[in-house]
Amino acid sequence: MKSYIEEINLKTKKEVEFIDVTDIVDQIVEKSGIKNGLVNIFSYHTTTGIRINERCSRLQEDMETFLKEIAPIDKAYRHNEIACDSRFNAHSHLMSLLTGNSETVPISKGKMILGKWQSIFFMEFDGPRTDRIITIAIIGA
């Protein structure tokens, strides 16, 4: 069994942003030389998410609206009473709680197995940020 790990650095431009990283992950899977196995996409950050969903701009707008309705920015959150890093971002942490921070995708014949409409998204909930890091970890043969 082999393993391969690579980090991706992202810059985000908006408070809430959905970045399709499918092509980047595809390239890393190919570079790894692993033909059959698993790839895990993991975000280091507690105010971001990693999710597989359909790439459609109108759907991303719906997802953003949904998350903002579930965790509105202007609610009185206890976390915002004393912000650890001067960011009043409890709503961002709650959005991340709903989405999770990793996905695992099977690899067969050197390619990720994704459905016809599926893409892998890095989701920013506390942007803009200049230093977002995700790790792509691949294991297999």
Domain boundaries, the chain: 2-140
Q: What pLDDT score was predicted for residue 46?
A: 96
Q: What pLDDT score was predicted for residue 84?
A: 74
Residue pLDDT tens, the chain, 141 long? 999 999 999 999 999 999 999 999 999 999 999 999 999 999 999 999 999 999 999 999 999 999 999 999 999 999 888 877 778 999 999 999 999 999 999 999 999 999 999 999 999 999 999 999 999 999 999
- As its CATH architecture, domain 2-140 has Sandwich (2.60)
Three-state secondary structure string covering the chain = CEEEEEEEEECCCCCCEEEECHHHHHHHHHHHCCCCEEEEEEECCCCEEEEEEECCHHHHHHHHHHHHHHCCCCCCCHHHHCCCCCCCCHHHHHHHHHHCCEEEEEEECCEECCCCCEEEEEEECCCCCCCEEEEEEEEEC
